[in-house]
Chain A
């Protein structure tokens, strides 16, 4: 079976070691790792952002050389930053994620993400959580084959964390796309079908969420350990 996303030797200087990665259609992949592990660099490289080493393809098509309208259908990228400078309405921001005018799709996403109340307000006047939802809607707009989401569950209240996961599952079921999303909350990885653990710019584990949660590698990478149902900081090594 041809993989949906096929990355070979993608690397970012000082951030990400040469990495091979295959993601099949229908997968919901969580990307975890300590700060500076290379999660954002991996997502950026897969999105073709300043990718100078290696090659990533989606549906067999090279990401880096795909021109704007085609690239928007191949992938949707949500950056970690939620700040926007210009006073563009939430409705227009979603429209910027489309390859052409499609008022019906914009209205559909406004309803899906419950943005109606502030759809015509400038995005730079919204709260960080509200902006996150608008930018998430923008990433979904062109119905891309692969969604690359940098911390999509950050800044969201519990309702929106659960709703976002539900929306991702429905998007996968409806279009047979794939999702890669970086996370910081370890418990959230249970909602994913597969988890990548990064450390020092390398993928050091690629497992099912349950196995990942139980693995010693996870504790070592984050320097934490299980204490009953909770996590605690590992005792500092004796010097």
Chain B
């Protein structure tokens, strides 16, 4: 935890770099038209950097809480099913209602995320046991994923297909400041309220029975963590689409800073999540490919090998 101040400095530095780079285009604009340069900052770069900061922090914090809750280092916020629900909501909105404006997609995604969360809580029942929540989340993810694929297969037009597909890839590009603020509110609520669960989540590392015997209400903790993760991630997915692996990777590194304690890893995981997404966005922006790659593709391409490395390491440790 002593390294948290360094992480904060690194996140601030990455945020400023995200605003400034590439510098050449901004310096040219400053010489020609300073008001246009300001507009580029405020309308284009600031929302993008803010969204990377917010989305990354939400994924990191939710990932840490979900991994602590399920006592599984390979769990991620996607397990609540809300990411898939949001994706389905956006695609259905784009196809059935023939709206493909960012606001309509976001609205559809919010409805999809809320519906997925409602279904998850209904399926988990009043006891809301960990295994029931996990299985219900997986079932909702699978169902929403299948329905999204079906919707893509039945695309009414190539344009609708492209809009939906582009959104599904996850991107921080061309989002407005008001959209960034739309994601900020649920994200802040999610992180602040997850921080109230640090103590029970740390005690949960001793096992569910021990935590309950210490007086912690695990049913409340489970519902709280799942609902807050769904709210925060659902809000971000609604604006930027699904971005994978940050919620899986950031908590794993964060726990190295907390000596394995899963609950108190929430803050470092939020900072690392922001750092990872800001860095990934900078890499996307600076890559000499001629066009901007969807950031979701980049995080998945970097995250999947890391995931495989973890699986192999777990296999080796099980074998020994």
Q: Would you give the 0/1 interface string for B10-31, flagging 1 where the beta carbon is closer than 8 Å to chain A?
A: 0000000000000000000000
Shortest distance from the beta carbon of B223 to any chain A beta carbon, whole Å:
16
- Chain A nearest Cβ from B320, distance in angstroms: 10
Residue among B71, B212, B215 making CB contact with A67, cutoff 8 Å: B215
In-complex Cβ contact of A70 among B71, B206, B215, B262 (8 A): B215
Residue in B72, B207, B215 whose CB lies within 8 Å of A48:
B215
Q: Which of B199, B203, B215 contacts A66 (CB 8 A)?
A: B215
Q: Are B206 and A84 neighbours in the complex by a CB distance under 8 Å?
A: yes
B207 touching A92, Cβ below 8 Å = no
Which stretch from A3-11, A71-79, A102-110, A151-159 is at the chain B interface?
A71-79
Find chain B residues with CB under 8 A from A70 CB.
Answer: 215
Question: C-beta contact mask, A78-109 vs B, less than 8 Å → 1, else 0?
Answer: 01010111111100110010000000000000
Chain-A contact segment, one of B107-115, B183-191, B236-244, B253-261: B253-261
Q: Which of B40-77 contact A (CB under 8 A)?
A: 71-73
Contact A84 B215, beta carbon cutoff 8 Å: no
- Tell me whether B304 is interfacial, beta carbon within 8 Å: no
Main secondary structure of the interface of B (DSSP, over half): loop
Given A84-B206, A96-B205, the answer on whether A148 and B213 have CB atoms closer than 8 Å is: yes
The answer to the question of A22 belonging to the interface, with a C-beta cut-off of 8 Å to chain B, is no
Cross-chain contact A49 with B205 (CB below 8 angstroms): no
B182 interface hit (Cβ, 8 Å): no
Which of B71, B73, B199, B212 gathers the greatest number of chain A CB atoms within 10 Å? B212
Q: Which residues of chain A are within 8 angstroms of B200 by Cβ–Cβ distance?
A: 68
> How many residues of B sit at the interface, in one of the four size bands?
20 to 34
Taking a contact as CB atoms under 8 Å apart, the answer to whether B207 and A79 are in contact is yes
CB distance from B116 to the nearest CB of A (A): 27
B209 at the interface (CB under 8 A from A): yes
- When each residue 187-218 of chain B gets 1 if its CB lies under 8 Å from chain A and 0 otherwise, what string results? 00000000000011011011101101111100
Does A133 have its Cβ within 8 Å of any Cβ on chain B? no
A34 CB within 8 Å of chain B:
no
User: How many residue pairs between the two chains, A and B, have CB atoms under 8 Å in the bound complex?
Assistant: 73
Task: Judge whether A72 and B214 touch: CB under 8 Å.
Answer: yes
Asked whether, in the complex, the Cβ of B215 is within 8 Å of the Cβ of A96, the reply is no
Q: Which residues of chain A from 115 to 146 have a CB within 8 Å of any chain B CB? A: 122, 135, 138
What is the minimal beta-carbon distance from A43 to any residue of chain B, in angstroms? Answer: 9
Residues of chain B within 8 A (CB-CB) of A72 are: 214-215
Is A87 a contact of B212 with CB atoms below 8 Å?
A: no
Chain B, range 227-274, C-beta contacts under 8 Å to A: 255, 259-262
Residues of B within 8 A of A68 (CB): 199-200, 203, 214-216
A44 within 8 A of B: yes
CA distance A214 to B261 in the complex (A): 49
For A148, the chain B residues whose CB sits under 8 A away are 213
Residues of chain A within 8 A (CB-CB) of B212 are 47-50
* Known A85-B71, A87-B260, A93-B206; further 5 A-B contacts with Cβ < 8 A: A44-B209, A68-B215, A85-B73, A87-B255, A138-B210
Give 27 A-B contacts (CB < 8 Å), ordered by A residue.
A47-B213, A48-B215, A49-B209, A49-B213, A50-B212, A67-B215, A68-B199, A68-B214, A68-B216, A71-B213, A71-B215, A77-B209, A77-B213, A81-B207, A84-B205, A84-B206, A85-B72, A85-B73, A88-B259, A92-B259, A92-B261, A96-B202, A96-B203, A96-B205, A138-B206, A138-B210, A148-B213
Q: Spell out B's residues near A (CB within 8 Å).
A: 71-73, 199-200, 202-203, 205-207, 209-210, 212-216, 255, 259-262
Question: Which residues on A are within 8 Å of B, measured CB to CB?
Answer: 44, 47-50, 66-72, 75, 77, 79, 81, 83-89, 92-93, 96, 122, 135, 138, 148
